[in-house]
Structure 1
Amino acid sequence: MAAPLPEAIQTAVVTGGARGFGATVCRALHKDGFRIIVTDVDPGREASALASELDLAGKTCMTATLDIADAQNWKYVLDECTERYGSVEVLVNNAACTEAQPVLDIDPAKFNEIMAVNAGGTFAGCQIFGRHFRDRGYGRIVNLASLAGQNGGTATGAHYAASKGAILTLTKVFARDLAPFGVTCNAIAPGPMDTPMVHAVLGDDLDKALANIPTGNLGDPEFVAEMVAMLCTTRSAFVTGACWDVNGGLYMR
């Protein structure tokens, strides 16, 4: 099963791509020559503005509405992408939600909701796009995990931490099953990055959080986005089932 030639234009779907770190990933991939599908549960003006920024003519970038917790939504987006560009080669599972709460205060319904969106959405995306990649004999999946899924999370909530731990396991499962078909599946587990989401979660505790990070600073979203782009290239064929840690020394192994 032949992989696309390195010079071929590949199409990448990025979930939660309209703002924050997702938008940074979209910019990094587009800079490296990928066509970009900016998806979000509510794309709105931010997604349209990003698409125009990347390609005002709209030839190498489009937006799509995607509720990652709805498997049928995933199918619609895949069909829309293949109808326009012929195929999709890359999926970046970035979208996630959380609500920081002490573990003893989390309502079970809220726990299940966060798990359904974060872990369930990643599962649905890997499964539906994984079938497409398998049938084509090529594909790249990058899942955004988190330090919280490795150390239990202290500021993000038990539901978020559990969902990110599940994503790490799902990455291994899909990596193993899809490897014979030229498809890789990797995870990146950032620590706290300099993003709006992290600032919103930490709030007044930012200085305290920085004091606990060995390197003394938040992560650079652009650097992490470049890691995503690297794992999406044809050159990354021998890397699969791996978790790439970027956490300022908060979790060493």
Structure 2
Amino acid sequence: MNQDFQEAVRDTPGGTAEGQVAVVTGGANGLGEVIVRRLHSGGCRVAVADLDGHAATALAEELDGTRATARGYAADVSIRAALEQLLADVLADFHGVHILVNNAARTQAKPLLEITPDELDAVMAVNFNGMFNACQIFGAYLAEHGYGRIVNMASLAGQNGGTATGGHYASSKGAIISATKVFARELAPRGVTVNAVSPGPQDSPMVRSIVGEENLESYRRTIPVGRLGNPAFIAEMVALLASPDAASVTGACWDANGGLYMR
């Protein structure tokens, strides 16, 4: 581990990732924004990457107008060259990367048998290819420096075959869980952990729009714990996996689905 990385991952109270540089894709809104805010409040310097570069920059400037601890970047994760450029830009600005959160995702609620080849390709390009390419590109950098944390955002849909958000979306999330294990095994000897977080239905605008406000109460009753998930808790899971304390956790998929899927 080189000296710069030793400084960044020095022991801190509670094993936090304070001072480390975290890249969050799809970080400008939704769950990604919650994760960005949690990592930043925990002392990380955060690179907010999003297809909407203006939204990413606006969030970063809200967090730190000086741009010392937060910066926004426009990045289309479906394009490998864009991810290569993202790494180069973040290194130029922050002089290091320690954490990658692959959160960018595309959903499309559509009956399975009606999904077109182009729609399948578009969802897989963002959800799976984007994650895989980012793990390769950033993983190589982290492995070279002997330390890193990668957290991939999966989904309950990828575990139980749920198709409410689209069969191609569910398939991509299942593939993410498998790829997480492959990258974890490959990178573990080089100081890099790779894990997945698999949320169930969250109390979010997306879930409310899919379920429908009129059906929300009856839907809650189908969840064993009787409530939708809290995005802030998902962000806490990500923060823990991204911390130095999680050194012995790799290749895992942490569930937070209210008991809808038990294993």
TM-score, structure 2 normalization: 0.92
In the alignment, is residue 6 of structure 1 matched against residue 16 of structure 2?
A: no
Q: Does 1:43 align with 2:48?
A: no
Residue in 2 that maps onto 1:62: 71
1:210 shift after superposition: 1.8
Give 1:57 deviation, angstroms: 1.5
Q: Aligned pair count?
A: 252
Question: Structure 2 matches for 1:207-226, cutoff 5 A?
Answer: 207-226=217-236
CA deviation vs aligned residue, 1:126-180 (integer Å, no higher than 9, x gap): 0100000010000000000000000001311100000000000010000000000
Match of 2:34 among 24, 49, 61: 24
Q: What CA distance in whole angstroms lies between the structure 2 residues aligned with 1:116 and 1:82? A: 25
Q: Return the alpha-carbon distance in structure 2 between the equivalents of residues 191 and 91 of structure 1.
A: 22
* 2-structure distance, mates of 1:158, 1:228: 25
Pairing 1:228–2:238 present: yes
Distance in 1 separating the partners of 2:169 and 2:78: 15
Q: State whether residues 147 and 191 of structure 2, in contact with CA within 8 Å, keep that contact through their aligned partners in structure 1.
A: yes
Match of 1:237 in 2: 247
- Partner Cα separation in structure 2 for residue 88 and residue 235 of structure 1: 18
Deviation string, structure 1 residues 91-136 (Cα, Å, up to 9, x no partner): 0000101111111211122112211210111001101000000100
Superposition pairs of residues 102-121 of structure 1, within 5 angstroms: 102-121=111-130
Q: Taking structure 1 as reference, are residues 105 and 207 closer, same or farther at Cα in structure 2, changes over 3 Å only?
A: farther
Tell me how far 1:50 sits from its aligned partner: 1.7
* Matching of residues 53-132 of structure 1 within 5 Å: 53-132=62-141
- Change over 3 Å in CA distance of 1:207–1:103 after alignment to 2: farther
Instruction: State the alpha-carbon separation in 2 of the partners of residues 94 and 238 from structure 1.
Output: 22
In structure 1, runs of 5+ residues without a counterpart are none
Aligned-pair identity (%):
52
Aligned-partner residue type, residue 87 of structure 1: G
- Alpha-carbon distance in 1 for matches of 2:172, 2:253: 15
- TM-score, structure 1 normalization: 0.95
1:146 matches 2:151: no
- In 1: Cα distance, 2:210 partner to 2:78 partner: 22
Match for 1:206: what amino acid? L
Aligned CA-pair RMSD? 1.4
- SS of the residue corresponding to residue 46 of structure 2 reads strand
SS in 2 for 1:149: helix
1:249 matched residue in structure 2: 259
Secondary structure of the 1:18 match is coil
Letter aligned with residue 112 of structure 1: D
CA–CA distance in structure 1, aligned partners of residues 209 and 84 of structure 2? 32
Shift of 1:196: 2.3
How far apart are the structure 2 equivalents of 1:51 and 1:85?
A: 14
- How many Å apart are 1:216 and its aligned residue? 1.6
Gaps of 5+ in 2: 13-17
CA drift at 1:209: 2.6
Given that residues 132 and 179 in structure 2 are in contact (C-alpha distance below 8 angstroms), is that contact kept between their aligned partners in structure 1? yes
**C-alpha distance in 1, partners of 2:41/2:145?**
25
- Bigger Cα displacement from structure 2, 202-211 vs 168-177: 202-211
Alpha-carbon distance in 2 for matches of 1:195, 1:39: 21
